[in-house]
Structure 1
């Protein structure tokens, strides 16, 4: 089961500091998850610049130029943000019995663990 899912609020915990032009400490929502590559795209983090060749379409409009967009970042470099304390935290799983339409099922529920500093 994945620790980080699409739509989660995460914080970058490694890399260059913001004072040095990096993204460490920034928080953002997960836009996309690439589970097979263990990478996520976080909104507003890890911007890259792509230069594409100038061309023309059939209608004659110009294409190309300089484009900036978010690049994937490894999942180990981000941490889920605890909704209560707004600090990065570890993720745990617990099993709960859920009853739906008269059928009981055991499902794993994701939750933010509390660290010793937060208690």
Structure 2
């Protein structure tokens, strides 16, 4: 089970500090999780410039140029942030029984290891 999901608030914990042009300590929402590569794309973090070849659409408008967008970073370089306190937390799991339509199912819930409260 993945500790980080799309839409989570995360904080970068490695790399150069922000005053040196890095992203350490910066928080942002997860845009996409690349499970097979163990990477996440975080909003506003790890910007790269990409040169796109100039082309032409059916209408005749020009495309291409220099674009900037977020690049993926490794999952081990980010940590989940508690939405209430806005501080990084370590994540654990707890089993929870859910009864739906008379059927009992067990599911795993993400919790803060220190306080034991649920992380939504």
What TM-score do the two structures reach when normalised by structure 1? 0.91
Match of 1:111 in 2: 111
Superposition deviation, residue 36 in structure 1 = 0.6
In the TM superposition, what is the alpha-carbon distance from 1:52 to its structure 2 partner? 1.3
Residue 67 of structure 1 and its aligned partner are, at CA, apart by: 0.3
Distance in structure 2 (CA, Å) of the matches to 1:13 and 1:104 = 39
Shift of 1:55: 2.6
* Equivalent-residue separation in structure 2 for 1:13 and 1:108 (angstroms): 26
Cα deviation per residue 1:76-115 (whole Å; 9 max; x = unaligned)? 0000001232111111000011111111111111112227
**How big is the shift at 1:61?**
1.3
Deviates further, 102-111 or 21-30: 102-111
Equivalent position SS for 1:95: strand
CA RMSD of aligned residues (A): 1.2
Unaligned runs of 5+ in 2: 116-120
Give me the whole-angstrom Cα distance separating, in 1, the residues matched to 2:54 and 2:103: 60
Q: Which deviates the most, 58-67 or 35-44? A: 58-67
**Which blocks of at least 5 consecutive residues in structure 1 are unaligned?**
none
After TM superposition, the score normalised by the length of structure 2 is 0.90
Match of 2:101 in 1: 101
